[in-house]
Amino acid sequence: MTIEKLDIEALLLMEKNIEAESSKGKEAQLVSELFNNLDLDEYVKEEGGIKAEASTKKKKKNKNKKKKNSLQQTDPPSIPVIDLFPSGEFPEGEIQQYKDDHLWRTTSEEKREMERLQKPIYNSLRQAAEVHRQVRKYMRTIMKPGMLMIDIVETLENNVRKLISENGLQAGIAFPTGCSLNNVAAHWTPNSGDKTVLQYDDVMKLDFGTHIDGYIVDSAFTVAFNPMFDPLLEASREATYTGIKEAGIDVRLCDVGAAIQEVMESYEVEINGKVYQVKSIRNLNGHSIGRYQIHAEKSVPNVRGGEQTKMEEGELYAIETFGSTGKGYVRDDLECSHYMKNFDVGHVPLRLPRAKQLLATINKNFSTLAFCRRYLDRIGETKYLMALKNLCDSGIIEPCPPLVDVKGSYISQFEHTILLRPTCKEIISKGDDY
């Protein structure tokens, strides 16, 4: 019989009897050696039995080796996310179960098989989401009043490029980093040479996207250094969580909007001694997301009375809400920085050679993903404004100017990307921060 197969309780009994006869005997020494060979970390003698925890030296070595070889992200981040997960499997987002009539999906073997077939797509989304989480975590540690807005967005975008291992249209930034301030709700990013400085009393919406093979993760949060804006931020954060909770397969989009508005407009915020009710911006929506298409066919309203259209299995959505102290209605204003090729545009004849050349550059570098002037500058384009205007006038390129509420108002935003999987709802972009 080998040492490993000896009964531990019998050994303890032998030790007790032998010690009683002779503490210095050879038998006691033998039993002691047997225990040493078993490499017991801890054993506890109790009435009626023995509790023992044993681990071999070989297992200890494996554990130490695993810890030693695990790669950790640097500060500032510099290691591509794919290197941090050598298995190629990326963290799953937060899971929420469907309600009521769709609870059966959780245990359906047919639905599980459908998910197994979609695993490569899910993994691409999760990789993009992990990049988003790590970049925004770092940005939260460095953003402070007095920074140039252009420095903030370029730092963020350079980190995305590193962590996602930017590779043309296969992996990279999904759209320009929005850093809209105060009464500007969305679609503002500094153009080259902009000298705007982030102030202590600013409310900044940081909205950026990542993608792998055109599978886009769109997520946003609001930064405000002055604590008087905390209720405004909480309003849009909780409204977004409510929208996510209500969303699901066969849920009507109008019902999601009604739930969002109810939560959003239950909040008030006091700013410089004046109390404002927080309003949902009625002409800004969440949206479905397609491959290489940030705004797909369906819109998720932020107020009641929207479309009766239903959400469907397999769809990807950006649930985003905007809370405003102004009118709750935005209009186009300020200098345009965001542009995007029309997803459904066919062949349009162009007369200007420069416009043709610029379009070829856009097709190669961005395809139907949104871009900004800084991105054109970065790839070496110069003197392109006339050609860009020509592409916009022809309907090939769609300008996306900043969206603005009344002057003096403040707007907050929170946004997550959710996936309506066959068995459950996955909040792809969810992190520890929001």
Q: Show binding-site residues.
A: 187, 207, 218, 287, 295, 320, 415
Amino acid letter, residue 434? Y
For residue 130, how far is the Cα from the chain centroid?
7
> Residue 60: helix, strand or coil by DSSP?
helix
Annotated binding-site residue numbers for substrate:
187, 295
Annotated binding-site residue numbers for a divalent metal cation:
207, 218, 287, 320, 415
Q: State the Cα–Cα distance between residues 355 and 341, nearest whole angstrom.
A: 13
For residue 150, how far is the Cα from the chain centroid?
22
Active-site residue list: 207, 218, 287, 295, 320, 415
Measured from the Cβ of residue 279, the count of other Cβ atoms closer than 10 Å reads: 24
Give the angle 360-365-367 at the CA atoms, nearest 5°. Answer: 75
Tokens 């509790």 correspond to 51
DSSP-derived letter for residue 229 is G
Q: State the Cα–Cα distance between residues 350 and 54, nearest whole angstrom.
A: 77
Q: State the Cα–Cα distance between residues 90 and 111, nearest whole angstrom.
A: 21
Q: State the Cα–Cα distance between residues 232 and 272, nearest whole angstrom.
A: 14
Measured from the Cβ of residue 170, the count of other Cβ atoms closer than 10 Å reads: 12
Task: For residue 382, give every residue at least 6 positions away whose Cβ sits within 8 Å of its Cβ, in sequence order, or none.
Answer: none
For the chain, the first-to-last Cα distance in angstroms comes to: 59
Is residue 185 within 8 A of residue 330, CB to CB? The reply is yes
Q: Single out the residue of 30, 140, 135 nearest to residue 81, CA to CA.
A: 135
Q: State the Cα–Cα distance between residues 406 and 402, nearest whole angstrom.
A: 13
Measured from the Cβ of residue 303, the count of other Cβ atoms closer than 10 Å reads: 21
